[in-house]
């Protein structure tokens, strides 16, 4: 395992302990439980046991959230990222760091945002992007100062020291001074490790007098029980300084895990053993290439797993795409797919509601139809049956005038039944018909004939006057469906006869450049303006005692619309009575 990352975990855990100690003055957290969970995470981390580590760290995180210790909780989230870095799974570490950053931003925890930036610095450093790593860590130091986490700055300074040591030893020593100064004031337990790193810096700079003095202080501290993660490396370079090359090589080969071959190549080069240095350098390059290959393979596998995951979601959402350039575009397409499905479901629900309303309307129409037909058939049948029985009874001494009157009543009621059946059949036929048969209609002759043949009851014939008034030329013709046009006018005239007891009924004809205009005027009871649309609904009769099913106006408008025109009530007509206007297009 990479020593640098081991150091990082120790730093994270130790900073958590110090913060815990500061926050636990009120006894909010059970120190025994806290330490047990922390040690469990630490042990599983050092053993590189993935199953144990994630079980322990998730349990620890739940505990910290329950205690509302967000700082310690996010520290453990950082430990997850370090664990993935130690496994050389850069892609998974990067995903976890992005998740951490996003969660901190969503919760507006700016004070803890330095943790995510610190992790990104380690990811950049592990990947070889030193400049980006330095930018991240300088930003971490700035945010720590703003948040008051001064005691946690020394490890960040030491991260910068590791990068700057080869580039700018003097700047590296200045940062070590800064880290040591902070450690003395806030976390003295870190000072010995920092001073050990300073001693190594003296060796790198070539200041052997200070190196030997620092080594002596290290040994004195070691005798007191102090330890440093840089101790083994310091022992190796001390043997080199003493000229004990073989002993230094053996110790480096045995104890150094990070940069072992590079260190051994440096030792051989210092001893002028160039062949051995070359061999160690080749091993270092091979090891580095192997690590890079593992990192690249792990990253590519992570990306491949992610793409497969999104491909599966795309198939489930049935969204077809031509190609995928980036994962963000796939997520966008997935959103569109879900939006489309929701819209389809909403449209389906609207159609179901419409169908339900149509079913209810159909049921109401059926009920109204049965009621109207029952009444309109039973009444004239009773009249016909009653008069027939009277006329057939030889005991009734009826005069010729009485027999003629009864016969007229029977004929009229027979007409009522026939007309009612014709209305029903007419609606059924014309609503289902699709074929249009256009013929040339000579308007004046055609309309005059219709008016002349309108059926009027005997008792009304002397009281009603039907007439046809036209401003059309005698040769005026139109192309239309003769049968439909006739039925429209017959229905309107019949409606006028039913609602007019005395006076006149007039059919008027005129035309514009685009349409034929027919108006049926009567002097009857008229129609209230607020009922102008309701009267065109099926089975609607303003006077329930009037003859008919209440479908004459409905069928008239339906047939007119089939011809491309319309039927409407003229609400501007002053009366008395009503005026219905029919418009038929000329072309």
Tens of pLDDT along 96-115? 999 999 999 999 888 889 99
Give how far Cα 83 sits from Cα of 1, 38, 302, 562, Å. 10, 15, 16, 78
* β 503-511/477-480 pair status: unpaired
Place of tokens 């596998």: 301
Is the predicted pLDDT of residue 378 greater than 60, yes or no? yes
Q: What is the CATH number of domain 1-148?
A: 1.25.40.10
**What pLDDT, on a 0 to 100 scale, did the predictor assign at position 475?**
85
- CB-CB contact of 2 with 90 (8 Å): no
Place of tokens 């050092």: 46
The secondary structure of residue 566, as a DSSP letter, is: E
**What pLDDT, on a 0 to 100 scale, did the predictor assign at position 1?**
38
d(C-alpha 326, C-alpha 314), whole Å: 14
3-state secondary structure 186-219: HCHHHHHHHHHHHHHHHHHHCCHHHHHHHHHHHH
Q: So where are the chain's domains?
A: 1-148, 435-585
Tens of pLDDT along 32-74? 888 889 889 988 888 888 899 999 999 999 999 998 889 889 9
- CB-CB contact of 548 with 420 (8 Å): yes
Measured in degrees and rounded to the nearest 5, phi and psi for residue 455 equal: -80, 130
Tens of pLDDT along 309-351? 656 766 777 666 677 678 888 888 888 888 888 888 888 888 8
Q: Which long-range contacts (CB under 8 A, 24 or more apart) does 159-163 make?
A: 159/121, 159/122, 159/125, 159/133, 160/134, 161/197, 161/201, 162/4, 163/125, 163/130, 163/133, 163/134
Helices (H), 465-551: 482-498
| 435-585: CATH topology | Heat Shock Protein 90 (3.30.565)
Higher pLDDT, 282 or 537: 282
d(C-alpha 253, C-alpha 236), whole Å: 10
Listed range (215-229, 415-429, 568-582) with the worst mean pLDDT = 415-429
| Structure tokens, 212 | 């030997």
Tens of pLDDT along 237-258? 899 889 898 998 898 888 887 7
Measured in degrees and rounded to the nearest 5, phi and psi for residue 488 equal: -60, -50
The size of the chain, in residues, is 587
CB proximity list for 365: less than 8 A, separation 6 or greater = 538, 539
d(C-alpha 260, C-alpha 267), whole Å: 11
- The H or E element that residue 584 is part of is strand 579-585
- What would the mean pLDDT of 120-134 be, rounded to a whole number? 87
**What pLDDT, on a 0 to 100 scale, did the predictor assign at position 304?**
54
């Amino acid at each position: 395992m990479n020593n640098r990352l081991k150091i990082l975990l120790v730093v994270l855990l130790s900073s958590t302990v110090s913060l815990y100690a500061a926050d636990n003055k009120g006894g909010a957290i059970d120190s025994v439980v806290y330490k047990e969970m922390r040690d469990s995470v630490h042990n599983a981390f050092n053993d590189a046991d993935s199953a144990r580590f994630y079980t322990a760290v998730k349990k620890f995180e739940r505990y910290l959230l329950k205690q509302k210790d967000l700082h310690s909780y996010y520290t453990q989230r950082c430990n997850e990222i370090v664990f993935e870095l130690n496994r050389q799974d850069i892609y998974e570490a990067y995903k976890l760091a992005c998740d951490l950053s996003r969660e901190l931003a969503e919760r507006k925890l700016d004070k803890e945002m330095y943790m995510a930036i610190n992790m990104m610095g380690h990811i950049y450093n592990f990947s070889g992007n030193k400049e980006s790593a330095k930018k991240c860590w300088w930003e971490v130091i700035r945010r720590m100062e703003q948040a008051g986490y001064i005691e946690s700055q020394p490890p960040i300074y030491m991260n910068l020291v590791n990068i700057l040591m080869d580039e700018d030893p003097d700047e590296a020593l200045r940062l070590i001074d800064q880290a040591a100064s902070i450690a003395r004031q806030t976390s003295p337990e870190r000072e010995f490790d920092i001073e050990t790193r300073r001693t190594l810096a003296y060796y790198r700079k070539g200041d052997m007098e200070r190196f030997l003095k620092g080594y002596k202080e290290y040994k004195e501290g070691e005798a007191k029980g102090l330890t440093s993660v840089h101790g083994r490396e310091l022992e190796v370079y001390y043997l080199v300084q003493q000229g004990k090359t073989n002993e230094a090589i053996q110790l480096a080969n045995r104890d150094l895990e990070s940069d072992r071959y590079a260190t051994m190549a440096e030792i051989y080069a210092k001893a002028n053993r160039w062949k051995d240095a070359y061999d160690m350098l080749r091993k270092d390059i091979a090891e580095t290439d192997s690590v890079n290959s593992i990192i690249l393979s792990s990253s590519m596998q992570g990306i491949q797993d992610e793409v497969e995951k999104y491909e599966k979601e795309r198939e489930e959402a049935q969204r077809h795409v031509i190609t995928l350039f980036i994962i963000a575009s796939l997520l966008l397409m997935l959103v569109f797919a879900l939006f489309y499905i929701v819209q389809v479901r909403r449209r389906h629900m609207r159609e179901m509601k419409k169908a339900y309303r149509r079913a209810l309307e159909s049921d109401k129409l059926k009920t109204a139809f049965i009621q109207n037909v029952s009444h309109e058939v039973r009444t004239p049948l009773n009249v016909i049956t009653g008069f027939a029985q009277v006329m057939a009874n030889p005991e009734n001494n009826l005069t010729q005038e009485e027999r003629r009157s009864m016969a007229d009543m029977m004929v009229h009621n027979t007409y009522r039944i026939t007309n009612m059946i014709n209305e029903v059949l007419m609606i059924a036929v014309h609503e289902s018909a699709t074929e249009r048969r256009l013929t040339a209609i000579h308007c004046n002759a055609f309309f005059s004939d219709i008016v002349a043949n309108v059926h009027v009851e005997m008792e009304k014939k002397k009281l009603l006057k039907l007439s046809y008034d036209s401003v059309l030329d005698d040769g005026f013709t139109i192309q239309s469906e003769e049968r439909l046009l006739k039925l429209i006018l017959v229905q309107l005239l019949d409606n006028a006869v039913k609602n007019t007891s005395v006076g006149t009924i007039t059919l008027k004809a005129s035309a514009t450049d685009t349409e034929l205009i027919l108006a049926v005027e009567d002097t009857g009871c008229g129609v209230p303006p607020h009922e102008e649309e309701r009267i065109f609904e099926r089975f609607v009769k303003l006077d329930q005692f009037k003859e008919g099913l209440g479908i004459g106006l409905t069928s008239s408008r339906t047939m007119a619309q089939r011809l491309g025109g319309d039927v409407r009530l003229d609400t501007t007509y002053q009366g008395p009575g009503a005026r219905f206007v029919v418009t038929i297009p000329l072309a």
